[in-house]
Amino acid sequence: MEAVDGNAIGGLLQEVFGTEMTAAGSVCGNCGAARQVAELAVYAYAHAPGTVVRCPSCDSVLMVFVKIHDRTCVDLLGLAALG
Amino acid sequence: MAGTAVRRRLTWQVAKVTAVTVETASVRTITLDVPGWPGHQAGQHVDIRLTDEDGYVAERSYSIASAPGEPVALTVERLDDGEVSPYLTDELRAGDDLELRGPIGGYFVWEPDDGGPLLLLAGGSGVVPLRSILRHRERTGSTVPVRLLYSSRTLNDVIYRNELDIPTAGVEVIHTLTRHQPPGWAGYARRVDAALLAEVAWPAAAMPLTYVCGPTSFVEAVSQDLVRSGYRPERVKTERFGGTGGT
């Protein structure tokens, strides 16, 4: 499927982190590429509870968000830095 | 870094539709009264949430079309297989309630102090946040020079056509119609590519500030062409909304 970008999850990120995150910096844990969160590749699946954020340079998974009822499970293990 | 991080809890709230305006056959502008709206920046968006009788929830993001200080207005393109947009464009009426949260975003935003010259590149309904930037520029008396290159399928698909036809000092609007052109059309009639950008974009030496919004394929191609031509990547801001429509 075609990716959108980090702008599309600005609301989700603000819900999780409590602050505006699309202009925040990020560093890929695999290739070290540094980008603002808005520039990351986002795969949001309309009929599944998960959102996957990948590095546009090396395609590594950087962040995963899964919503179950009112809880959002967050996996940031692919990131070397955020913020 | 552009934009200021504002620590504010993002909560869903109910807005009231005050007007629905026809823009094109498939596009409507929905003007809203949002109680307690904290104000927005040009380029930001809101999340819309629809809940059906069975409790099924669908969420989508829509760019704010109005300038800061104006009532919140969203311009929505109908996607035939969409879960949210057909309701917004076909069913919603003045007086209806709509659940939203926002404003959202601090990357794809422009303030007069960010300067220019501005290069705005729109594919289809990607023109919506750029229209907010144009109106904000005008309302604040900014004299930053602007070029808007706007790719549409046909003349009838051009959103805000009347508004864009009225010349504003310092703003050049350049259209390209990719699928069909009316008789006597003097504008561009092809997809935006490196050659077209070389003709209409500011020279890289002018250090332009660029905002590109449209379908993912449009944004990818255009932003890569600009960077190859010498534009600084950190001054090319991008917003991709997926799909293929409208360019």
Q: What is the structure's pLDDT at B6?
A: 53
Indicate the pLDDT class of residue A79, thresholds 50, 70 and 90: very high
Question: What is the distance in angstroms between the Cα of A18 and the nearest Cα belonging to chain B?
Answer: 6
B7 in contact with A at a CB cutoff of 8 Å? Answer: yes
> What DSSP state is assigned to residue B166?
S
Secondary structure class of B78 (helix, strand, coil): coil
- Residues A46, A50, A56, A61: what is their CA dihedral angle, to the nearest 10 degrees? -160
B217 in contact with A at a CB cutoff of 8 Å? Answer: yes
Q: What is the pTM of this model?
A: 0.95
Higher-pLDDT residue of B97 and A71 is B97
B195 in contact with A at a CB cutoff of 8 Å? Answer: no
Indicate the pLDDT class of residue B242, thresholds 50, 70 and 90: confident
The predicted-structure confidence for B167-219, as pLDDT tens digits, reads as follows: 899 999 999 999 999 999 999 999 999 999 999 999 999 999 999 999 999 99
Question: What is the distance in angstroms between the Cα of A8 and the nearest Cα belonging to chain B?
Answer: 7
Contact in structure between B16 and B32 (CB atoms under 8 Å): yes
| pLDDT of B113 above 90 | yes
A5, B239: Cβ pair inside 8 Å? yes
Residue B201: partners with Cβ closer than 8 Å, 6 or more residues away? B119, B147, B149, B208, B226, B229, B231
Contact in structure between B141 and B152 (CB atoms under 8 Å): no
Structure ipTM: 0.94
Chain A positions in Cβ-Cβ contact with residue B105 (cut-off 8 Å): 7, 10, 20, 22, 38
Q: What is the structure's pLDDT at A2?
A: 83
Question: What is the distance in angstroms between the Cα of B8 and the nearest Cα belonging to chain A?
Answer: 7
Cβ burial A31-69 (10 Å sphere, 16+ → b, else e): eebebbbbbbbbbbeeeeeebbbbbeeeeebbbbbeeee
